[in-house]
Amino acid sequence: MPVRPRARPAALVPEAGPAAGASLAAGALAPEPETASLALAALRPLPKPAVARAATAAAPREQLIQVSGAGPAKRLAAPGRSGALCGVPGLTGHPIAPIASRVQGCGLPDGVEVTAISGIPLSLPIQVDCNTAVAFKRWLDRGILPAVGNRGGGLARIEVAGSYMCRPRNNQRGAKVSEHGRGHAVDLSGLRLRNGQTITVLAGWKSDARLLKAVHGSACGTFGTVLGPKSDRFHQDHIHVDTAANRGGPYCR
């Protein structure tokens, strides 16, 4: 009788049961090898250079001058070049921060400090608005310098008695605010020549009457108000000039 082969044990035959399905699913969700991740990263495009950002950062920014006190930065009229101020060559100085005052009528919101005009130094810096600074330069160029001429070697310095100051007219209590309190006025007390001589308004109104009266007269029209020793007792030692607008035209005494 022939010998039949025995059937293989059932334990050796793999079954496709639930456990096997779970193993396959787990294998499908397993992470990819590190080499595959690196390969994919190599295929990703590199970020573009931030040219726009660099260009924006390199662009010049407008400079603002922060003035004292609260509020936004205020643009001030800075000199365009050395010796130029208020847009006029020949004015030497710099802008100043706004001057405020508790006294009604006083203050200098857009002032400059001038130290020299047309190359002629001032004995004291004057703090005025640009309108007054430009008027003073016109007076110097067209009136003072021609009046002095070559006397004593020429004009060396302008003697200044005052400019901005919050005070009443003629320092009299109860009077209206002076144009000095608005930055519209300058007081000239004398002229210093290159040979060292100083012609003062106080002492020279008689001895150097021709020169000083020419200086005084040349200011009329350029300034709204011109006051000298003949005007009153408050102006015996200086010539007061200011840019106040008078209804009847320039007031010159």
pLDDT digits (tens, 9 = 90+) for 157-207: 999 999 999 998 888 888 899 999 999 999 999 999 999 999 999 999 999
Least confident of 11-20, 92-101, 147-156: 11-20
Which residues, in sequence order, are CB contacts of 134 under 8 Å at separation 6+? 86, 88, 91
Per-residue buried b or exposed e for 209-235, using 16+ beta carbons within 10 Å of the residue's own CB: eebbeebbebbbebbbbbbbbebeeeb
| Per-residue model confidence (pLDDT) at position 11 | 41
> For the segment 60-105, what is each residue's pLDDT rounded down to a tens digit?
333 323 323 333 333 334 444 454 899 999 999 999 999 999 899 9
Helix (H, G, I), strand (E, B) or coil at 176: coil
pTM over 0.85: no
CATH numbers and ranges of domains, the chain: 129-252 (3.30.1380)
